[in-house]
Homo-oligomer: A and B are copies of this chain.
């Protein structure tokens, strides 16, 4: 019994050994604590990429674009390391802002905020931005983007973001945009709290000026759950928790409800700083999710507790170096009427 418990000794990494980020991540497989979990994230993601007919969901919480993660997320989309994106409105709004030439700035978390207000400078932790430039984007959404949408049609957020991606194809000054990359790669983006962002309220302003654009919560639920229902296998990756995590988890519940047997996700990754002990969904363990049937009983799972701005650059660089030319079966989504057709084809990433 003791022999079974004590099988694989730790291997303390040597400093000289790691030449690149991929080797660094590999050297962390045999240590303890969250460092080991970081290596596990890379390994579970690798397995997800090699699995056939596997649809990979990415849930993206917080405001990762102001924090500089835009090109990394765009890379994941363009290299097809993910297949569906569920995001807060903030990430998509700030992505659009940067795509159209806007900038975020290095600031300080200890700034005098009342002073910042007087200068109309908005702070996101240690990042600053020019509120007048945000205002110009809000007006652009209201005056230029909203006219592309029709009235009295219940849009899903996916459809709205598809329209936005189409518009960015012409207008974007910076091509490594999340919304634009997803449009080009035909990857759906859902924004399940669409109203809860400048994107949402700027379109609402068009309504106050006489339009009647509608974005329907229920259609988002319908469309997203179709994906998990139709996919032979699903992997889920959560960067932070929040609504994106719950929304993706729930597609498994809905698919199970519809078919009356468990249609759980097959592999699962989370990078987060939310803790299980406070009882929230954001920080809950994948074990807890197994009790609900959201994650399968034999799923490969890795949770790493870390700020995303530390862990994500490492993980994605390591994956990129590990798979210089991966061939993967990627899903294609054809949305018609209120249905989805899901096909797979092999692609060199």
Contacts and interface: CB of A to CB of B under 8 A. Distances in A.
Nearest to A192: B196
A335 interface: no
Interface residues of A, number: 140
A207 B192 contact: no
A131 B291 CA distance: 10
Contacts of A218: 195, 200, 203-204, 207, 213-215
Interface stretch (A43-51, A179-187, A279-287, A326-334): A279-287
B13 A71 contact: yes
A92 interface: no
A269 interface: no
Q: How many copies does the complex hold?
A: 4
Contacts of A62: 278-281
Contacts of A281: 62-63, 90
Task: Specify the main secondary structure of chain A where it touches its partner.
Answer: mixed
Contact of A30 (B106, B201, B212): B106
Contacts of A67: 10, 31-33, 35, 279
Nearest to A287: B113
A66 B31 CA distance: 8
A113 B68 contact: no
B30 A310 contact: no
A204 B221 contact: yes
A16 interface: yes
A170 to B, nearest CB: 22
19 contacts: A6-B103, A6-B128, A10-B127, A27-B313, A28-B313, A30-B68, A31-B309, A33-B279, A35-B68, A38-B310, A62-B279, A90-B246, A116-B291, A193-B193, A201-B225, A201-B254, A216-B217, A273-B275, A278-B307
